Amino acid sequence: MQAKVSLQAAAGLALAGKVPDSKPTRLPQVNASAARPYRGHNSLTLQRNTSPARLLLEEHRPQDSKSRVKRCLVQQMTRSSTLTPSMSHIAGLDKIVELKGLISPPACEFGGKHGNVVTSSRVHTVHKGWRAIAVDGQRLGPAELASALASAQRHSRYTVTFRIGDRDVDGENARGAVGKKDQDVLEQAEQENRAAEAESLRRAAEKVAAEAADRERMALLEARREAAEAEKCVREAREAERQEREVADASQEARRKASEAEKRAREAIEAERQEREIAEAACATQAGEEADRKRRVAEETRRMAQGEMELQSAERARQEAKRRADEEPYRQAADESEQRQMAADEVEKHKAEETERKIAFEQEAARDIVTKRLEKECGLPPRSTIADPHQALMKALSQAKTAVPKKKRGGPCDKCDGPHHEDDCPHFKGKRDKHKDAIDRYGKKGASDNGEGDGHVVLCSARIIPQPGDGSCLFHSVSYGLKSTSATRLRAEIADFIASSPDMLIADNPIKDWVLWDSGLDVKAYAKTMRTGSRWGGAVELAVCAQLKAVAIHIYEKGARGFARISAFGEDTCSKPKLQVVNLHYGGRVHYDALEV
């Protein structure tokens, strides 16, 4: 009865429109034992401990005007009363998402009427249909949003704020965007909703009151049914107790029988084990006897085989002794022959070493003689006492004495260079002096007196053509100047010429003397090493090449004023009126490069 009065009071408040918004009136609950599950208004399921009046009031409590306006605005802006799950997730809320920039294509693309709606997304945090209202925390209008998004995508990271509701980019103030006409429509709709809600609450209150009376009757019937069920349960419990006692007795009997069966099984297993042990012992005894028999047989077989092997070994030893006795004379003869051959080889080896020592001694003696003679004639000191033997040898070879040219009957005069014979010279009546300098300079017009054998020739403009430093740089440089041969062919020609003409005079001395001073080898050995490419070319090869190719070879060294000529080969030994000149650059350490003038 008390629940019925409370429900009527709640229905009266609802019809008067005085249902509070925040705290609904707390109504007494229906007895839990008498309440049954009930499906009330609007398909709401009421539990036993829930007041139907309270749930009804909370379900039909009128919403405030702000919530209804917000819902209408959202429906109007989205042109649909139903939002997708991803759009309803941010309806009326600001959703800030951090995106990565500097990627192509971008994380998401925007379009729509105002250019702020997501048309496609490549990340799971942004969904199609969301509307952007701010970039990097700055709220922008539709005209500025597109350019701000394009600028932000050029950064490594940026944030975009999305929203669907009364504050998105379609209007900062959605209520003002609706207009006065829309507001009238909304107010009329609100009044109609209030009237409909009041009528619904009245009908629901009447229905709840009727249902409460039904529940009271049902509760009484339920109590009687439960009492009958309780009595039935007591009877069933007693029957179950009796059955449990019977089951316990049966179980105890079964355990006793199982214990006896287990005992009999253990006795059977023990008997079987004893029988098996006896059988295994018999088998082991039999196997031991069989093993002893096999061992005795094997031992006897081994003794017989060992005796046979001893007999065979003795026979082989006897045959080996006989073979050695038969081969002993031949072996002794072979050993004596081998010893004689070794002795002969040793004698030959001693003879060869003695011959080599003798040849080396003779070559060393000859080298000393040649060194002394060259030092006396050319001023060339011993090779071991010179810091740069190659340059010293090149200087000695380029200062060679030449034969005095034949006199011309008509001049020029050898005394004054006049157009008459020297015997008819009107200026000098005496004969030409025969001192050393005069004889050395005879026929060499323009030669200097500085003792270097070459004039002070300096090239101010010349270009070095580098050549490979593979041990044949001299031959590469000369072949570059000759233009008609290669370095390998030129090396072979010069080596063959040295081997075939050891007595040919170069700088008033035979080639073999210059070779002996420079290398300490005879001409054939020197030419062989030169031809195979294992020896560098030097001054001897330059002098021989000038004779062989009938060219002039000028050697220059780079100095402060330019390229100074330090040696010249082939100028006074060739009868050609105009010689081909091959210019080389000496870079020190026996390295040559071609030089273009």
Is 439 in contact with 429 (CB distance < 8 Å)?
no
Same fold, 81-172 and 388-401+444-596: no
What's the pLDDT tens digit per position in 94-146?
888 888 887 778 888 888 877 888 888 888 888 888 888 899 888 888 778 88
Please, which residues have CB within 8 angstroms of residue 567's CB and are 6 or more apart in sequence?
394, 395, 397, 398, 453, 454, 539, 542, 554, 555
On the question of pLDDT at 85 being above 80, the answer is no
Is 356 in contact with 521 (CB distance < 8 Å)?
no
Q: State the pLDDT at residue 43.
A: 36
Which stretch, 364-378, 437-451, 569-583, has highest mean pLDDT?
364-378
Q: State the pLDDT at residue 258.
A: 92
Q: How far apart are CA 266 and CA 275, in angstroms?
A: 14
Amino acid at 410: G
High-pLDDT (> 90) share of the chain, % = 22
Higher per-residue pLDDT: 40 or 248: 248
On the question of pLDDT at 25 being above 50, the answer is no
Poorest-pLDDT segment among 199-203, 398-402, 436-440, 456-460: 436-440
Higher per-residue pLDDT: 570 or 230: 230
Q: State the pLDDT at residue 82.
A: 53
Q: State the pLDDT at residue 73.
A: 53
Q: Is the peptide bond before 105 cis (omega within 30 degrees of 0)?
A: yes
Q: How sure is the predictor about 177, in pLDDT bands with cuts at 50, 70 and 90?
A: very low
Q: How far apart are CA 92 and CA 33, in angstroms?
A: 44
Q: State the pLDDT at residue 477.
A: 92
The stretch 573-580 carries a mean pLDDT of 62
Q: How sure is the predictor about 384, in pLDDT bands with cuts at 50, 70 and 90?
A: confident
Q: How far apart are CA 117 and CA 564, in angstroms?
A: 86
**Alpha-carbon Rg of the chain, whole angstroms?**
66
The CB density around residue 463, as the number of other CB atoms within 10 Å, is 10
Ramachandran angles phi, psi of 412, nearest 5°:
-75, 160
Strand ranges for 73-156 from DSSP E: 95-100, 108-111, 117-121, 132-135, 138-139
SS3 content of the chain, % helix, strand, coil (to 5): 55, 10, 30
Q: State the pLDDT at residue 71.
A: 57
The stretch 529-540 carries a mean pLDDT of 85
On the question of pLDDT at 455 being above 70, the answer is no
CATH of domain 388-401+444-596: 3.90.70.80
Pick the CATH number of 81-172 from 3.10.560.10, 2.30.42.10, 3.40.50.300, 3.40.50.2300: 2.30.42.10
On whether the pTM is more than 0.95, the answer is: no
Give me the residue spans of the domains in the chain: 81-172, 388-401+444-596, 403-437
Q: How far apart are CA 139 and CA 292, in angstroms?
A: 107
On the question of pLDDT at 30 being above 60, the answer is no
What's the pLDDT tens digit per position in 298-313?
999 999 999 999 999 9
- Enclosing H/E stretch for 349: helix 174-378
Q: Where are the alpha helices (DSSP H) in 466-538?
A: 473-482, 487-500, 511-519, 523-532
The stretch 54-76 carries a mean pLDDT of 50
Fill in the DSSP letter of residue 290. Answer: H
